[in-house]
A and B are shown apart, each in its own frame.
Chain A
Amino acid sequence: MEDALAIHRLHFAFTVTFHYIFPQLTMGLALLLVILKTMALRSGDEHYNRAARFWARIFGINFALGVVTGIPMEFQFGTNWAQFSRAAGGVIGQTLAMEGIFSFFLESSFLGLFLFGEKRLGPKAHWFTAVMVFCGSWLSGYLIVATDAWMQHPVGYALGPHGEILLASFWGLLLNPWALWQYLHTMNGAVLTGCFVMGGVGAFYLLSGRDEAYGRTFVRLGVIVGVVGTILQLFPLGDAQGRLVARYQPATLAAMEGLFETQQGAPVAILGQPDVQNRRLDNPLLVPRALSFLTYRRWKAEVKGLDSFPQQDWPDKIPLVYFSYHIMVGLGTILLAVTAVAAWLLWRGRLYQSRGMLWVLMLCLPLPYIANTAGWVTAEVGRQPWLIHGLFRTPAGVSPDVLAGSVWFTLIGFMGMYMILGILFLFLVYREIELGPEPRKAALAEFGGHE
């Protein structure tokens, strides 16, 4: 059973991590597409419409992969986590079903119109379809985050006679304070992915000396939205999320910070490796008292270390929680610095000529993906050993009759399938970037064209 549990966890972790590569760009680009379409509508400049069409093509590829890798996520609650679903389905099934009914229908309907209907719809109606796609994808994000937030911080439930978890307050579930902060933090992270992809592609065009008008638009939009986003991500969003963890999941906070001993004036570890065996941090580089201040706004406040909690309630993979948290914060800080310098150069009118900065922007393209993924690993591995924090332990949730062999089989199947999808995705997106945003004259004649 022990063996099967580990594979079930790996199965979900692998498929959800791969899946989230796509929605973060979908949600981020959806916002940037609305901005581009709005600029096109207000200025009447066809340049912005062409820019929007270029990103819509990439959006389409990315969206398709988000859809096909997303369906397995909903299924896995039942296939791999049947006991959890039986106990808690009456609660989290609500938000998952609402996602399908309220956002997927909206998103899929208007995406069809957005991608295929520009000619027939006219500029205003086409702008409207872009807004609806944005609403659909951001609503979907909320309902998924609300589902996860309930597992992080269960509210609005009651226990039934056979131990099943019953919904007691619909609005309690939907307006879970954890969900509100986690949503803003997650969506802003997705916007940053969108900004760095757009800015990175723009920088690539400028460095290559091609499609420079588009390159400047992409870099400008990416940097302006990006600098606002990176600042907000650190404060107030990341800060608020951290304080929620400190308040409701103190053992997780201790694991994230690598704090083994409860202390007053607790430090923040910038570097160091947690040695769980000996309960200490090796090679530490500490900022004294910073953790106490960040958590409680008092330099001498007491922060609980892992020693305050029974070992069975510790997250079971402390180094993973610690490192993913540090990677997220570290990358967030680097991205803030990059966008701040780029924004300053943009303001001084020197960014488009500054090849060094353009190189940095291009190479930063993967970093928000890593930061977003690391953030989710922190949240979900940090939640362990609980499936529903404080209420339901992870080993109690698996499907009793689905044995390790079956899960290995499908995990390997997904790995192979997703490897192919990943290669196809990179190939097709690179091809779109290579073909560029200019309307294709040759293609126009042959296909009837996108224009």
Chain B
Amino acid sequence: MATLWFCLVALMIAAYVLLDGFDLGAGILHLFVARSDDERREVLASIGPVWDGNEVWLLAAGGTLYFAFPALYASGFSGFYLPLMVVLWLLILRGISIEFRSHIHSPVWEPLWDAVFCFSSLLLAVFFGAALGNVVRGVPLDAQGYFFEPLWTNFRLGGRTGILDWYTILIGVTSLFALTQHGAAWLMLKTSGAVQLRSRGVARGAWWVVVALTIVVTWFTFRIQPQISLSFAAHPLGYVFPAIAVAGLVALRWFLAGAEDVRRELEVFLASCAYLLGMLTSVVFGLYPYVLPASSNPAYSLSIDNAKAGTYGLRVGLVWWFIGIALATGYFILVYRHFRGKVGTETNHGNY
């Protein structure tokens, strides 16, 4: 039962990364691929009707984590107090920059929110990556299962660690480039003309960086968190997850390599999804059954068994969870179908 919930929470986090990932990526690229006001409105219109729904996956995953693994929620959220608060402020800035920009047409108002949108999206990508890095590296849990990390100490791995050290920053930078690539793939799919052309250029360039960072990050991760090697050694079937990531990267290159008039945009986007999904599931598989490893004393680590909620609650939750997620999937299909196709001047009803 706890394993099932572990998989469901991981699935929701993956859904969040794939969906909000592309609008974060679009935000990172906003200032760079879209130069004129019309082009920027095109970028915003491509995510406008969906970004809020995408962000709900973060809330839904958080809520599910809360009731399925209350001890993990309590430890993780209080321990990552400072970075989470920064994430909240960034989410606030990002949300209002998307919604408020369109209200006033002025050379002061719009560029201001464009910059806020880009800046907050960029930092969020880095912070989410760093958060994942912290979970992989492990945190200094005490016997009661609590910890507190400052934002940074000396950027080294040993001793009293901070949220940011060289390893977590490295993961943050990887996340930044991976989501940039993901956002570029989304913009290739949804826009046309100059924005699409520039996005394509970004996707091609980012690919090399992502490949290089993936290799480096994988090498360090196996050294820093021994549990991951143990998991893969114990269950070789798990290699299917990194294989998905590699396949995604190869496919991405393949579909990007085609001539510019060959429409392979959907394939590019799906390949980017496969890469992100493969990377995330590899980490999750590697850590299982741990959900928050302790860097202090391995015995203090939180695993699905010492973090899970009562059996009755987990069982009853299963019923409504499946009903709720089926409904949510239905709404998403409805919305994405309704807003399918390219964002042109015709479909952008002046809302952005």
Contact = CB atoms under 8 A, between A and B. Distances in A.
A78 B76 contact: yes
A108 interface: yes
A432 B21 CA distance: 32
A368 to B, nearest CB: 25
Interface in B57-89: 58-60, 62-64, 66-68, 70-71, 73-82, 84-85, 88-89
A93 B77 CA distance: 14
Interface stretch (A211-219, A276-284, A328-336, A400-408): A400-408
Given A78-B77, A101-B325, A116-B351, A67 B60 contact: no
A402 B81 contact: yes
Contacts of A421: 92, 96
B335 interface: yes
Contacts of A12: none
Contacts of B328: 101, 105-106, 109
Nearest to B58: A71
B85 A410 contact: yes
Interface stretch (B47-55, B166-174, B180-188, B250-258): B47-55
Contacts of B324: 98, 101-102, 105
A450 B96 contact: no
A382 B275 CA distance: 52
A115 interface: yes
A288 interface: no
Given A74-B62, A79-B85, A116 B73 contact: no
Interface stretch (B128-136, B264-272, B311-319): B311-319
A83 B56 contact: no
B73 A93 contact: yes
B348 to A, nearest CB: 7
A121 to B, nearest CB: 8
A146 to B, nearest CB: 13
Contacts of A170: 313, 316
B81 A102 contact: no
Contact of A166 (B53, B55, B92, B312): B312
Nearest to A402: B81
Interface stretch (B140-148, B152-160, B283-291): B140-148
A91 B142 CA distance: 25
A401 B146 contact: yes
Contact of B99 (A64, A410, A431): A64
A413 to B, nearest CB: 6
A428 B100 contact: yes
B91 interface: yes
Interface string A429-444: 0010000000000010
B235 interface: no
A244 B176 CA distance: 52
Given A65-B96, A100-B59, A117 B338 contact: yes
B146 to A, nearest CB: 5
A112 interface: yes
B68 A105 contact: no
A90 B312 CA distance: 10
B49 A116 contact: yes
A69 B327 contact: no
A80 B310 contact: no
A78 B78 contact: yes
Interface string A166-198: 111010000000000000000000000000000
Contacts of B76: 78
B309 to A, nearest CB: 3
A82 B310 contact: no
B67 A94 contact: yes
Interface in A373-425: 399-403, 406, 409-410, 413, 417, 421, 424
A148 interface: no
B88 A71 contact: yes
B107 to A, nearest CB: 14
Nearest to A143: B63
Contact of A108 (B53, B64, B142, B350): B53
B76 to A, nearest CB: 7
B67 A78 contact: no
B67 A401 contact: no
B63 to A, nearest CB: 3
A13 B310 CA distance: 30
Interface in A78-125: 78-80, 82-83, 85-94, 96-102, 104-106, 108-113, 115-117, 119-121
A20 B270 CA distance: 40
A113 B62 CA distance: 25
B91 A109 contact: no
Interface in B289-323: 309-310, 312-313, 316-317, 320-321
Given A72-B88, A421-B92, A100 B60 contact: yes
Contact of B313 (A86, A91, A106, A424): A91
Contacts of B78: 78-80, 82, 399-402
A64 B101 CA distance: 12
B103 A85 contact: no
A448 interface: yes
A120 B55 CA distance: 25
Contacts of B100: 61, 64, 424, 428
A154 interface: no
Contacts of A426: none
A403 B316 CA distance: 36
A60 interface: yes
A399 B81 contact: yes
Contacts of B68: 93
Given A421-B96, A448-B349, A97 B81 contact: no
Given A166-B312, A167-B312, A421-B92, A60 B73 contact: no
Nearest to B313: A167
Given A75-B84, A97-B63, A85 B73 contact: yes
A87 B71 CA distance: 8
21 contacts: A64-B100, A71-B58, A71-B91, A74-B63, A78-B74, A78-B77, A79-B80, A88-B70, A89-B70, A90-B310, A94-B313, A97-B60, A101-B328, A102-B324, A104-B60, A113-B49, A164-B310, A166-B309, A167-B316, A424-B96, A446-B105
**Chain A to chain B: the 4 pairs with minimum beta-carbon distance, closest first:** A89-B70, A78-B77, A93-B67, A97-B63
Given A82-B146, A87-B70, A97-B321, 16 more contacts: A61-B99, A79-B81, A82-B77, A86-B71, A91-B313, A101-B60, A101-B328, A108-B55, A108-B56, A109-B53, A109-B331, A170-B316, A401-B146, A402-B81, A417-B89, A448-B345
